[in-house]
């Protein structure tokens, strides 16, 4: 009797264990099916985003950079994400990109941070600073020197996630309808020049004007402005500035390595699956370098055409004028940092990196180029 009871108890236990084991298998399979189903939903979900820019539609270099990002994202995502790019004024004004992305009316934008100096004064450091970092140097500071973390920190209150997305390399000072022989020739000069460079011009007695690219030729031709900077030979030739001004001055002390930005609405960014975020970051990094390569390859060819075919007078800005601009620039930067805690934080990081990399360049790039070009 006792043995029979033990056998019966063992059978009951076995039944319970089999039941529990079966339930566990069913639950596990159900979870796997749910995970697979969720993954399929993420994989199948399509994203159609709009990107607004500060540049004319399909403009060489500047305008094509966001187009290339859109193409790469669509191809790498196998069509899961499609980005439609709009040029300046097609949906928002050239200088309305930041607000459009911040508000969420558009998921993405492509522009330059110094256009937002009235909203985010420290943003100027992530485009270009007079006598500051070159293209290679600002890439290194942003990507490897702590700059990107600061950039995202100052844009966070505006619900924007920035990514580096292009660089033109060192620019030209610009187009003038009169010769610049001394600082006296700057006084009263109406010039299109944005960012801190514009503040330097103002301190030197000039009148800085902010205009979008599409308006510059007419403004220069009709005398609304006396001079304009834009980018460099590659882009300046396409706008035909040589038909409206005689003198072409260098160096571009005001924009030694201007970085452009892909702006993404933070809520929209957070809604993306991780693989699409990685694709966007990767596409932007590729275009950031590709755009710099494009300008380096095209600028000298365009400059040769401007000088030899169109008779443009290429002039170097006098050394004493450049030196005065440098003095004014340093004074403005120090003053900005003393009055704005955020600018001070960014400028401290920027200046330390600049000093460190400059010290190394003295015995590397600078020394090599000097010896090569003798």
The answer to whether 251 and 29 have CB atoms below 8 angstroms apart is no
Which tens digits make up the pLDDT trace of 242-284? 999 999 999 999 999 999 999 999 999 999 999 999 999 999 9
Report which of residues 51 and 33 the model is more confident about: 51
Our CA angle for 161, 198, 102, nearest 5°, is 20
Closest CA to 164 of 286, 49, 57, 80: 286
The pLDDT-based confidence of 31 (bands split at 50, 70, 90) is: low
The three-class DSSP label of residue 7 is helix
Q: Which pLDDT score, from 0 to 100, does residue 22 have?
A: 54
Instruction: Supply the mean pLDDT for the chain.
Output: 92
List domains and CATH numbers for the chain: 47-167+257-295 (3.40.190.170), 174-252+310-372 (3.40.190.10)
- β strands within the chain, DSSP E: 47-53, 81-86, 108-111, 160-167, 174-176, 190-192, 207-209, 227-228, 247-250, 259-265, 313-316
- Determine the Cα–Cα distance for residues 63 and 220; give it in Å rounded to an integer: 22
Burial of 257 (0-12, 13-18, 19+ CB in 10 A): buried
Residue 110, beta-bridge partner list: 53, 262
pLDDT more than 70, % of the chain: 89
Per-residue pLDDT for 330 more than 80?
Answer: yes
Structure letter (DSSP) for residue 127 = T
Which tens digits make up the pLDDT trace of 37-73? 455 556 679 999 999 999 999 999 999 999 999 999 9
- β strands within 73-187, DSSP E: 81-86, 108-111, 160-167, 174-176
Q: Which pLDDT score, from 0 to 100, does residue 10 have?
A: 54
Query: pTM for the complete prediction?
Result: 0.88
If one counts every other C-beta atom within 10 angstroms of the C-beta of residue 88, the result is 24
Average pLDDT over residues 6-21: 54
- Determine the Cα–Cα distance for residues 250 and 252; give it in Å rounded to an integer: 6
Whether the bond into 251 is cis, omega within 30 of 0: yes
């Amino acid at each position: 009797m006792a043995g029979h009871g033990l056998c019966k108890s063992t059978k009951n236990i076995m039944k319970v264990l089999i039941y529990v084991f079966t339930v566990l298998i069913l639950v596990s399979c159900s979870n796997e099916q749910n995970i697979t189903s969720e993954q399929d939903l993420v994989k199948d979900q399509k994203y159609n985003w709009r990107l607004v820019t500060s540049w004319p539609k399909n403009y060489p270099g500047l305008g094509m950079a966001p187009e290339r990002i859109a193409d790469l994202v669509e191809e790498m995502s196998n069509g899961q994400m499609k980005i439609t790019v709009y040029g300046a004024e097609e949906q928002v004004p050239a200088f309305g990109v930041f607000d459009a992305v911040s508000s969420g009316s558009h998921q993405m934008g492509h522009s330059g941070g110094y256009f937002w100096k009235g909203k985010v004064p420290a943003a100027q450091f992530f485009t270009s600073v007079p006598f500051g970092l070159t293209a290679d140097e600002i890439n290194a500071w942003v990507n490897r020197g702590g700059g990107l973390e600061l950039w995202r920190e100052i844009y966070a209150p505006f619900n924007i996630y920035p990514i580096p997305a292009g660089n033109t390399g060192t620019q030209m000072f610009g187009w003038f309808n009169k010769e610049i022989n001394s600082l006296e020739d700057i006084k009263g000069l109406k010039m299109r020049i944005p960012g801190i460079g514009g503040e330097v011009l103002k301190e030197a007695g000039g009148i800085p004007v902010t205009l979008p690219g599409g308006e510059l030729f007419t403004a220069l031709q009709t005398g609304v402005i006396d001079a304009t900077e834009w980018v460099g030979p590659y882009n300046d030739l396409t706008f035909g500035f040589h038909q409206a001004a005689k003198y072409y001055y260098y160096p571009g002390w005001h924009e030694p390595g201007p970085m452009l930005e892909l702006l993404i609405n933070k809520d929209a960014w957070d809604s993306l699956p991780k693989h699409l975020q990685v694709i966007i970051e990767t596409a932007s990094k590729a275009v950031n370098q590709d755009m710099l390569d494009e300008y380096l390859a095209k600028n000298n060819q365009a400059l040769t055409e401007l000088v030899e075919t169109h008779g443009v007078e290429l002039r170097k800005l006098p050394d004493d004028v450049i030196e005065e601009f440098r003095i004014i620039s340093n004074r403005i930067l120090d003053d900005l940092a003393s009055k704005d805690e955020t600018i001070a934080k960014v400028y401290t990081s920027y200046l330390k990196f600049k000093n460190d990399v400059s010290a190394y360049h003295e015995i590397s790039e600078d020394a090599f180029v000097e010896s090569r070009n003798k």
